Chain A
Amino acid sequence: MPNLEVNIHNLILKNPVMTASGTFGYGQDFGDFYDVSKLGGIVTKAVSKEPRQGNFYPRMAETTSGMLNAVGLQNKGIDNFESVIYPELKKINTNIIINVAGHTVEDYVYVCERLNQLDHVHAIELNISCPNVKDGMAFGTSCPSATALTIAVRKVYHKTLIVKLSPNVTSIAEIAKAVEDGGADALSLINTLLGMAIDAEKRKTVLSTAMGGLSGPAIKPVALRMVYQASRAVSIPVIGIGGIMNGIDAVEFLLAGASAVQVGTANFINPNAALETITGIEDYLNRHSINDVNELIGML
């Protein structure tokens, strides 16, 4: 049995496979399919200070090898999270990583400060890259604002701080460096790519918001390239995300320089996708007689 354990800063992951925010709820919905404690970690749906209703319908458009979404960070807010969702998360025996979204620096700080008090929250993933809300991406698309937000959250959050980067930038390496300078412990990338879908027959945009976030295998080549660039620009661990459907896809991200991965859109199509990604990595290691998954990281 090869070793699958990896480290992301202080987090010890039993395997390098986590679930991507917004594709796994808060873990409960997948309990019918498998024991989610088998995952290296669960990254939850975003939590914001106030409840959010999200965008109008239609919020989804299928595209070739992918999909666009315009959910808009619908969630019930931090109060509901603490009283209703957190007690359920405590029953899951793996790393719980809370994705945090906000309108302002103060919003982020408020939520992160409260999450810092919760023992079974092992890390937070700062969402500075959502393309579906007016201000969510603004933090992640300029270096000074990305650094400033990271510094502000760093002051109040003392466990593992992951910052999720937007691909909708000119230089992923510069943003990665800016966030590392702000005090992040790790980076995760990529969030969705800004895109759009048009119904030619109706001569209308498919999504209510016109534009939305593209995910799925369609974005994997872009994600691999950005993980490759970002991991070479920083010395903190990078978590690879973007169109991972199976173990081989995950291995490609590890080779590109990621220390762990997140499975996202695949969860919608195959509810067992994240679990099968773990066994897929294990099969790969066995097939290549590699004893430790860490040997793959950045080994191109």
Chain B
Amino acid sequence: MNYPVKHLKMKNLPMAKVTHDLQLIENRQLNPAYHLLIFKSSVAIPEVFPGQFAELLTPDSAATFLRRPFSIYNADYQLNTIQFIVKIVGNGTKKLCQLSTGAIVNIIYPLGKGFSISEGKSLIVGGGVGIAPMYLLSKWLTTNNREFDILLGGRTEADIINVKEFSEYGELDITTENGKLGQKGLITTHPWLKDPGSVYSRIYTCGPEAMMRAVARIAIASQISCEVSLENTMACGFGVCLCCVVATDKGNLCVCTDGPVFNINNLKGWD
């Protein structure tokens, strides 16, 4: 494990962001929709907090003019590599996943506020590509001696990625809507989410908004805390364009700098 212990003390502190070029050293197609992209930096990579993200510049193209935000899947401070799980959803992600080894991609990172540490046992709920930030979270919780279970869900078995890596860190279970992998049905029907308050003190979730809202309702009913990692369209990713807002108890806040992780108690319309 290559995760610095000093992260224990870090609670959503803003860190200096950097921009530089990275070299793609591996582009592993996990299935038709998902790729694992591994980039190497020629300089030391900054410390990355679970739930933080990066803005990647897609190769020169008029049609994909802006950067694309991606959760950071994994970071290796010895090898100076950084990994992303990319789901092909449009032109930008398609171009990134078509890159060959050796390609140079510019990055801005680490961005945003990540997850906060839970005191008791927690449950990680990742849906589809929302699984991406949960791997660093699993490592971090483990490093900090926190107990947790991991529940990953997807529409089909193709939406469940890198399962073996997750199971190194905690009790893992899986749901798919077509039943081809793990339990059949929506992730919210899994037994761990029946009465989570009896086992867990916190739910961490990232995935499609409808799924996160359903998980949030379960957390509220069980009176346990819940952190959600939100997605939004961003022009900059570091708080200046004010495009990616979400309604909160403090008014409209930027998902990129005030999030992407929010406690549901602070979000408007999530109860």
Contacts and interface: CB of A to CB of B under 8 A. Distances in A.
Interface in B13-64: 16-19, 57, 62-64
Interface string B218-240: 00000000000000111111111
Nearest to B91: A62
B66 A269 contact: yes
Interface string A48-67: 00010110011111111111
Contacts of A74: 242, 245, 252
B65 A64 contact: yes
B42 to A, nearest CB: 17
Given A57-B232, A64-B62, A271-B108, A32 B18 contact: yes
Nearest to B246: A57
Contacts, number: 91
Contacts of B63: 64
Interface residues of B, number: 30
Contacts of A66: 65
Contacts of A265: 235
Contact of B64 (A29, A62, A216): A62
B102 interface: no
Interface string A8-35: 0000000000000011110001101100
A212 to B, nearest CB: 10
B87 interface: no
Main secondary structure of the interface of B (DSSP, over half): loop
Contacts of A51: 251
A265 B243 CA distance: 12
A271 B17 CA distance: 10
B244 interface: yes
Nearest to B18: A32
Nearest to B64: A62
Contact of A33 (B17, B64, B239): B17
A280 B266 CA distance: 45
Contact of B19 (A29, A33, A58, A71): A33
Contact of A23 (B62, B106, B241): B241
Contact of B234 (A54, A60, A64): A60
Interface residues of A, number: 35
A29 B232 CA distance: 19
A167 B37 CA distance: 42
Given A64-B63, A74-B252, A22 B241 contact: yes
Nearest to B241: A268
Nearest to B245: A57
A168 interface: no
A59 B245 contact: yes
A142 interface: no
Contacts of B238: 29, 271
Contacts of A267: 236, 240
B235 A69 contact: yes
B235 A67 contact: yes
24 contacts: A23-B240, A29-B238, A45-B240, A53-B251, A54-B245, A54-B252, A58-B243, A59-B243, A59-B244, A60-B243, A60-B244, A64-B65, A65-B62, A66-B65, A69-B243, A71-B242, A216-B65, A268-B67, A268-B236, A268-B240, A268-B241, A269-B67, A270-B19, A270-B57
Interface of A: 22-25, 29-30, 32-33, 45, 51, 53-54, 57-67, 69, 71, 74, 216-217, 265, 267-272
Given A53-B251, A54-B242, 20 more contacts: A22-B241, A24-B240, A29-B240, A32-B16, A33-B17, A51-B251, A59-B242, A59-B245, A60-B233, A62-B65, A62-B66, A63-B65, A69-B241, A74-B245, A74-B252, A267-B240, A268-B240, A269-B65, A270-B106, A271-B19
